Amino acid sequence: MLKVCLNGSRTASEHPGLPVSPSQLARAAKEAVEAGADAVHLHPRGDDGRESLLAVDVAAAVTAVREACPGVPVGVSTGLWITARDVQTRAELVRGWVVLRSAERPDFASVNLSEPSALELAGILHNTGIGVEAGVWTTRDAKQLLSEPLPGLLRVLVEIIGVRPENAVSEADEILGQLGRPEALGVPVLLHGEQAACWPVLRHAAARGLDTRIGLEDTLTGPDGEPVTGNAALVRSAGTLIRQGGRGGPSAGP
């Protein structure tokens, strides 16, 4: 699976193609799916452009993308930074998603194991009928997941964040080794990196036959550092590398 991550925490000032509003997210998602994306991950925004977990903002973003991309799974973030690291507020807002109709409700949401109350949050999502993606950033997160599985687990996200590109692949393999074989987990593993580590890790995911993701949330440049017009261009480049099994010339990374 190749997932497109449309916007993340970025602001519109970082890239002219960054989608923020529901209509922009819908258009970007449609273009990315037409370019080869199998699923969509997004960070809903409020009227002020800030990330939001309010049910009304989640509903607006998810509905718009569903209408533009029928049948394509749509997921959202639950990052604790969205509520200024207020655990209780986050739990209350996500619990409020229970009022969402099926067309408004995301298929899945990411839960970062490095953040407090991950197990409780996963339970809230599961009880609301939303699948859980476990965000695993470190070997410690991997050990935590193995010792305390999350309810409603749909997928494990091995996310290489804040790591130098030359160390990114070895860091990924260390976490993957801690998790063990994907078959033993009973759910797929998606591997991706951010910023300078994005393309080396994507190539490694392709070489290992793992799911991965790409989009303006993770990088603003193509595999050779070139500027990109938006998410669809990133998806096309990622698709080419995946078909090549991660081989891509001099910039292939470690």
Which tokens in the block code for residue 164?
């130098």
Query: What does the pLDDT look like over 222-241, one tens digit per residue?
Result: 999 999 999 999 999 999 99
Residues 122/150, Cβ–Cβ less than 8 Å: yes
Q: Is the model's pLDDT at 254 over the cut of 60?
A: no
Q: Helix (H, G, I), strand (E, B), or coil: what is residue 135?
A: strand
Residue 128 to residues 37, 53, 109, 122, 225: CA-CA distances in angstroms? Answer: 26, 14, 11, 10, 41
Q: Whats the size of the chain, residue-wise? A: 254
Q: Would you tell me how many other CB atoms lie within 10 Å of the CB of residue 195?
A: 17
Q: How much of the chain is helix, strand and coil, in % rounded to 5?
A: 45, 15, 35
pLDDT band at 185 (very low <50, low <70, confident <90, very high): confident
In whole angstroms, give the CA distance from residue 73 to residue 140.
29
Higher-confidence residue: 125 or 250?
A: 125
Query: What does the pLDDT look like over 29-58, one tens digit per residue?
Result: 999 999 999 999 999 999 999 999 999 999
pLDDT band at 181 (very low <50, low <70, confident <90, very high): confident
Query: What does the pLDDT look like over 93-131, one tens digit per residue?
Result: 999 999 999 999 999 999 999 999 999 999 999 999 999
Tell me how many degrees the CA angle 190-155-73 measures, rounded to the nearest 5.
Answer: 90
In whole angstroms, give the CA distance from residue 145 to residue 168.
21
Q: What letter represents residue 156's amino acid?
A: V
In whole angstroms, give the CA distance from residue 159 to residue 166.
16
Using CA atoms of 55, 78, 94, 4 in order, give the dihedral in degrees to the nearest 10. 50
pLDDT for position 86: 98
In whole angstroms, give the CA distance from residue 213 to residue 32.
12
Q: What percent of the chain has pLDDT over 70?
A: 97
Domains of the chain: 2-251 (3.20.20.70)
